[in-house]
Amino acid sequence: MSENSEIQTNPDSGNIPYFKNDPVIVLILGIFTCGLYLIYWNIKAAQVFNAVAQKELISQPIAVFAGCCMPVNLYFYYLAGKEGLPLVYARVGEKDKDQAILLLVLGFIFPMVAAMIVQGDLNKLYK
Amino acid sequence: MLNKKLLGIAGAVCILVIPWLIGYSSPHLESDQSLCPLKLLTGLPCPGCGITKSIYFFYQGNLDKSLAFHILGPLVVVFSILALATLVLELITHKSYFNRWMYNSRFAWTLGVGLSVYHIIRLASFLLNHSFQEIIKESVWQ
Tell whether A103 is covered by a domain.
yes
* CB–CB contact A31 B106 (8 Å): no
What pLDDT sits at residue A4?
A: 39
Q: How many helices (H) and strands (E) does chain B have?
A: 8, 0
Tell whether A26 is covered by a domain.
no
Q: Is the pLDDT of residue B99 over 90?
A: no
Tell whether A50 is covered by a domain.
yes
| pLDDT grade for B139, boundaries at 50, 70 and 90 | confident
Tell whether A85 is covered by a domain.
yes
Task: Give the structural domain span for A94.
Answer: 45-127
* CB–CB contact A69 B48 (8 Å): yes
Q: Is the pLDDT of residue B123 over 80?
A: yes
Closest CA to A36 of B73, B85, B44, B40: B44
* CB–CB contact B106 A3 (8 Å): yes
How far apart are the C-alpha atoms of B136 and B132, rounded to whole Å? Answer: 6
Q: Measure CB to CB from residue A61 to each of B7, B47, B102 and give the nearest one.
A: B102
Average pLDDT for A38-65: 91
| pLDDT grade for A2, boundaries at 50, 70 and 90 | very low
* Number of neighbours of residue A60 by Cβ within 10 angstroms: 26
3-state secondary structure of A17: strand
Tell whether A58 is covered by a domain.
yes
pLDDT in tens, B20-79: 998 888 878 877 778 888 888 899 999 989 999 999 999 999 999 999 999 999 999 999
Tell whether A23 is covered by a domain.
no
Closest CA to A41 of A68, A10, A70, A9: A68
Q: Is the pLDDT of residue A105 over 50?
A: yes
Tell whether A127 is covered by a domain.
yes
Domain count, chain A: 1
Q: Measure CB to CB from residue A68 to each of B46, B101, B120 and give the nearest one.
A: B46
Tell whether A2 is covered by a domain.
no
- The whole-angstrom distance between B61's CA and the closest CA on chain A is 23
pTM of the model: 0.87
Closest CA to B108 of B118, B116, B120, B119: B116
